[in-house]
Structure 1
Amino acid sequence: MEKPGIITGGKYSDDRGNLFFNNDFNASEVKRIYYIENTDTEFVRGWTGHKIEQRWFSALQGSFTIRFVKIDNWETPSKDLEVLKFQLNSDNFNILHMPSGYASAIQANEKNSRLLVMADYFLGEIADDYRFSIDYFKI
């Protein structure tokens, strides 16, 4: 079973400015991209899960805390699942991979933060969106 993880990016700086890169990310599976701006740093967007779809996340501006749970039963998941916690910031071009079978909760850590999201299915291509209240799993 594939587990979530960070694909490490980098940054090169010289007198011309900065170049952010992620040479280890294979974008060949990506079919759709969008970005998220939460209303404020108190709001937590989630829990949204995908049995089939994968997601990749990268902070374009600011920073985010992203939590994942591996769903054991999509109809009535256990409320005591292990919560994995990741930090992303725009100081590098790290990309966080969420394999299929997980739900996510996303919180901006700074005002005006923007999170790039990439998905491996087009919008409406499959029915694979599962939502749980934000207090369903432990934050």
Structure 2
Amino acid sequence: MEKPIIIQGRSSTDDRGSLFFNNDFNASQIKRIYFIENRDNQFIRGWTGHKIEQRWFSAAEGSFTIKLIKIDNWEKPSENLPVLKFELNSKNMDVLHVPPGYASAIQSHDENSRLLVMADYSLGEITDDYRFPINHFENLK
């Protein structure tokens, strides 16, 4: 079973400026990209899951906490599933890979934060969007 991982980005600086890159990220499976901007830093977007699709997240502006839960039953998931927590920051070019089978809750920490989301299916190609109440898995408000 595949688990979520951070694919670490890097940077290089010289007299011309800085270069941010992620040479370990393979984007060959990507079919769709979009940005998420939460309405404010207290809002938590979630829980949204995908049984088939996988996602890749990278902070384009600001910073984010992304919580993930491996869903055990898509029709009626347990309430006490372990929560994985990842931090993404636009100061580097880290990419969080989320394999199929996970639900996410996303919170930004800085004003004007923007999260790049990449998916391996085109919009409308499959029906694979599952939503759960924000407080279903943990006491989130």
- State TM-score, norm by structure 1: 0.98
Give the whole-Å Cα distance in 1 for the aligned partners of 2:70 and 2:77.
Answer: 9
Matches within 5 A, 1:128-139: 128-138=128-138, 139=140
Residue 53 of structure 1, CA deviation: 0.1
Matches within 5 A, 1:25-104: 25-104=25-104
Give the whole-Å Cα distance in 1 for the aligned partners of 2:10 and 2:60.
Answer: 13
Partner of 1:123: 123
Give the whole-Å Cα distance in 2 for the aligned partners of 1:81 and 1:29.
Answer: 29
Per-residue deviation, residues 43-86 of structure 1 (Å, max 9, x unmatched): 00000000000000000010000000000000000000000000
Q: Which amino acid is the alignment partner of residue 19 of structure 1?
A: L
Structure 1 residues not aligned, in runs of 5+: none
Residue 15 of structure 1, CA deviation: 1.8
Structure 2 residues not aligned, in runs of 5+: none
Residue 14 of structure 1, CA deviation: 1.4
For the aligned residue pairs, the C-alpha RMSD in angstroms reads 0.6
Q: Which amino acid is the alignment partner of residue 9 of structure 1?
A: G
What is the percent sequence identity of the aligned residues?
Answer: 71
Matched residue pairs, number? 139
Give the whole-Å Cα distance in 2 for the aligned partners of 1:15 and 1:44.
Answer: 40
Partner of 1:17: 17
Residue 13 of structure 1, CA deviation: 1.1
Give the whole-Å Cα distance in 2 for the aligned partners of 1:14 and 1:134.
Answer: 45
Give the whole-Å Cα distance in 2 for the aligned partners of 1:74 and 1:19.
Answer: 42
- State TM-score, norm by structure 2: 0.97
Compare 12-21 and 83-92 and name the one that shifted more: 12-21
Give the whole-Å Cα distance in 2 for the aligned partners of 1:40 and 1:18.
Answer: 29
Residue 17 of structure 1, CA deviation: 1.5
